[in-house]
Structure 1
Amino acid sequence: MKLVVGVTGGSGAPYALDLLRTLKDLGVHTHLVVSEGAKRVWETEGKTPIQELLDLGSEVHDDRNLAASIASGSYRTLGMVVVPCSSSTLAKVALGLGDNLIARAAHVTLKERRPLVLVPREAPYPRPMLENMLKAHDAGAVILPASPGFYSTPESVEDVLAFLTTRILDQFGLESGRMKRWTGQ
């Protein structure tokens, strides 16, 4: 099982860290790409050194390397998640631009009809961002905002992170067992 994980410059570094830790625990082979913008954001909101994030990737690719394995549709993966997904990366996906590895891998994921999950964290959404979400959705991406639910009665930040990680993993048919699921009343 191979999954591409892109981390871009939107706020939300803890979401990426939690997802990568969970994927590692599940034994999923990850292809990690961290944008330069994400590295800058990490410095301001990451309580963990960036190296710990990079160490969680099974393989780490430079965002400038358009010749990486994940830039080709013939390289098979379960799909891709971009968490957090910056508004500029969202726009690139919506418009089919592939000027860096994250955008190119997202394009390839859509082209091959594999699951692509985009996790925007910014709010509120201006009209261009909403339009880009719709374009990306229409192209086949899942737009999964970092909006935790509270029916699982979280008691800690870790529980809130687990909720979003679980919802992301659901899109790939993976189960972590980290979230109390709704069972009805």
Structure 2
Amino acid sequence: MATAKAITLAWSGASGAQYGLRLLQCLLAAQCSVSLLISRAAEVVIETETPYRLPNEAEGLEARREYLREALNTEDGELVLYGRDDWFSPVASGSSAPRSMVVCPASGGTLSSLASGASNNLIERAGDVALKERRQLILVPREAPYSQVHLENMLKLTQMGAVIIPASPGFYHQPKSIEDLVDFIVARVLDQLGVDQRLMPRWGEEDR
């Protein structure tokens, strides 16, 4: 039996919570093992942009995990949540962290922290681990317009080996809903991760 693909997924405080939620749903449906990290700002964005209300920290990580599974209607894959300051979690160490990490959505503050090597919380530390170990790090920023600082940080991170996928969906697939636009970006992330996806045909596939 093939080993499940292990991925660290982080949600930071940029707008675009739908991208992160949909990506999690697709990763679990693909039988991936997901280590999920959620910033405080991401929780605010989720409550602002979606109908979801995560259990508070006092209710525990297991309550959050079960809530997300039910909300996203998936019992597939493996989902483990870690607290913001859980420095003993596998994602905090190069010896045990998954070989792929995605920050979706990625805030400007997260880009800045990763570009400067800050490790003030578990998301930043996990990203720092991915960069120092030369592992796959995918960042999905959602901002408009980009400032010079944003652009400089994205260039710096690209030079470090990260892949930047801006949350800028295309329209050549003639989207008919917001969900189609979300799936466009999620499909590109899944392609980068090497996770099979049927959300969106690649260019020219429909013609063939």
Q: Same fold (TM over 0.5)?
A: yes
Give the aligned partner of residue 168 of structure 2.
147
2:89 is aligned with 1:68: yes
- Once the two structures are TM-superposed, the CA of residue 28 in structure 1 deviates from its matched residue by 0.5
CA distance in 2, matches of 1:50, 1:13: 13
Paired AA for residue 129 in structure 1: H
Report how many residues are paired: 185
Contact 2:90 2:97 in 1 (8 A): no
**TM-score scaled to structure 1, two decimals?**
0.94
**Aligned mate of 2:203, from 165, 176, 182:** 182
Aligned to 1:105: 126
Q: What is the percent sequence identity of the aligned residues? A: 43
1:4 aligns with 2:3: no
SS in 2 for 1:171: helix
- 1:41 paired with 2:27, answer no
TM-score, normalization by structure 2: 0.84
Asked whether 1:160 is paired with 2:181, we answer yes
1:115 lines up with 2:136 in the alignment: yes
Residue 113 of structure 2 is matched in structure 1 by 92
1:53–1:124 distance in 2 versus 1, CA, 3 Å: farther
Among 97, 103, 116, the alignment partner of 1:82 is 103
Tell whether the 8 Å contact from 1:8 to 1:85 is kept in structure 2 after alignment.
Answer: yes
Rate the CA distance shift 1:24–1:53 in 2: closer, same or farther, 3 A: farther
Using the TM superposition, give the Cα deviation of residue 8 of structure 1 relative to its aligned residue in structure 2, in angstroms. Answer: 0.4
Aligned residue in 2 for 1:22: 26
Unaligned ranges ≥5, structure 2: 56-62, 70-77
CA RMSD of aligned residues (A): 1.7
